[in-house]
Each structure stands twice: as structure tokens, then as C-alpha cells.
């Protein structure tokens, strides 16, 4: 077996394990940490596919920004074990059964899949290059790119205004 295949199998097992622990963990902080580890292992898959830019953006956006927002929300909600509604044991067993069935289905699909034989046509252009991506974003998609930046700025301002507490008049 080649080194790439061994790394792929390790990343796949690690991704499935951390995804399962994200769902199964009782502590929301632990779930968030398992989700970060799952995101990092998915970025490892992108690196195996030779998509370095996508892997870095995935780490920055998901593992960085989204998880910081999730942890901030969890801490803001102040979830304690005393306030947590405990799920019945049948629900947890049902989730485990669904997870096992889905795992068997995915493993069966993986085993029965056929590898691609022969060559494939290439255009010769490097779509992984940040230079090419920058040219495409700032030439062909400049207006949607700017609209998204304005939308994100508006959402950020709205979040600050909604989370701001009103002063009490005394």
C-alpha cells in the first residue's frame, strides 16, 4: 500500500470518529472541539486531492471563524448540565443504530466502487493557482464579490445591534 492510501484511510477513520463524537458528546464545548478536529481532517483530505488553496480556506473559514462563532454562542447561552434536558436512552440508541447503518452503507458503496482507469483530458490551465482565482474573482465576478462583502458587513452590524443590551433608565 502506498503512503497516500494509508494517510487517506487514517484521515477517513479520524473524520468519522470525530464526527461521531461531535454528535454523541454530552458537553457542548467538547462537541465543538471534536467538530474542529473533524474540520481539520477534512482539510487534510483536500490536501490529498492537491487542493491547497481550498484546504487553507477551509481551515480559515470553518475551523477558525465558524467555530469561534459557535463557541461564542455556546458560552453566551451558558449551557449547564443542570439546565440541559436529558434525552431518553432510546433516542441515543436510535442515533447509534442510524450511525452504524449509515456507516455500513457508506463502506459498502466504497468497497463496490470502481476505480477510474485510463487518462482524462486536461485543459492545461492551473485552477488551483491563487493568481488564476484572483483574476477570475476580480474580473468576471467583481460585482457579486462586492455584494457579498456588503451583505456580510450588514449582517455584522445587525448582530452587534441585536446583541447590544439596552441601558436601564434610573
Q: Residue 148 domain-assigned?
A: yes
Residues 84 and 16 in one domain: yes
Residues 58 and 96 in one domain: yes
Residue 162 grid coordinates: 441585536
Residues 95 and 161 in one domain: no
3-class DSSP string for the chain: CCHHHHHHHHHHHHHHHHHHHHHHCCCHHHHHHHHHHHHHHHHHHHHHCCCHHHHHHHHHHHHHHHHHHHHHHHHHHCCCCCCCCCCCHHHHHHHHHHHHHHHHHHHHHHHHCCCCCCCCCCCCCCCCCHHHHHHHHHHCCHHHHHHHHHHHHHHHHHHHHHHCCCCCCC
61-106 tens-digit pLDDT: 887 777 777 777 777 666 555 555 566 788 888 888 998 999 999 8
Residue 107 has pLDDT above 60, yes or no: yes
Residues 19 and 99 in one domain: yes
Residues 6 and 45 in one domain: yes
Beta carbons within 8 Å of 12's beta carbon, 6+ residues apart: 45
Residues 57 and 103 in one domain: yes
Q: How many CB atoms lie within 10 A of CB 97?
A: 10
User: CA 115, 8, 28: angle at the middle one, nearest 5?
Assistant: 130
- pLDDT at res. 6: 93
Q: Residue 120 domain-assigned?
A: no
Domain count, the chain: 2
Residues 55 and 100 in one domain: yes
Residues 64 and 91 in one domain: yes
- pLDDT at res. 77: 66
Task: CATH number of the domain at 13, please.
Answer: 1.20.120.1200
Domain limits for position 47? 1-112
Residue 47 has pLDDT above 80, yes or no: yes
Taking the model in full, what pTM does it have? 0.58
Q: Residue 121 domain-assigned?
A: no
Residue 119: pLDDT band with limits 50, 70, 90: confident
Residue found under cell 476580480: 138
Q: Residue 102 domain-assigned?
A: yes
Residues 20 and 102 in one domain: yes
Q: Residue 122 domain-assigned?
A: no
Mean pLDDT calculated for residue range 7-17: 95
By CB neighbour count within 10 A (0-12 exposed, 13-18 middle, 19+ buried), where does 35 fall?
Answer: buried
Amino acid at each position: 500500500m502506498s503512503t497516500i492510501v494509508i494517510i487517506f484511510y487514517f484521515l477517513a477513520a479520524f473524520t468519522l470518529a470525530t464526527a461521531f463524537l461531535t454528535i454523541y458528546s454530552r458537553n457542548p464545548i467538547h462537541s465543538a472541539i471534536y467538530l474542529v478536529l473533524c474540520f481539520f481532517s477534512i482539510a487534510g483530505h483536500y490536501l490529498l486531492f492537491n487542493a491547497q488553496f481550498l484546504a487553507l480556506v477551509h481551515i480559515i473559514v470553518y475551523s477558525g471563524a465558524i467555530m469561534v462563532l459557535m463557541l461564542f454562542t455556546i458560552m453566551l447561552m451558558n449551557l449547564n448540565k443542570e439546565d440541559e434536558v436529558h434525552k431518553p436512552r432510546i433516542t441515543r440508541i436510535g442515533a447509534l443504530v442510524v450511525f452504524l447503518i449509515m456507516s455500513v452503507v457508506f463502506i459498502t458503496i466504497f468497497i463496490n466502487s470502481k476505480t477510474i482507469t485510463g487518462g482524462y483530458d486536461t485543459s492545461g490551465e492551473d485552477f488551483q493557482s491563487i493568481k488564476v482565482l484572483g483574476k477570475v474573482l476580480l474580473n468576471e465576478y467583481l460585482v457579486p464579490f462586492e455584494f457579498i462583502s456588503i451583505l456580510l458587513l450588514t449582517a455584522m452590524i445587525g448582530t452587534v445591534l441585536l446583541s447590544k443590551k439596552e441601558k436601564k433608565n434610573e
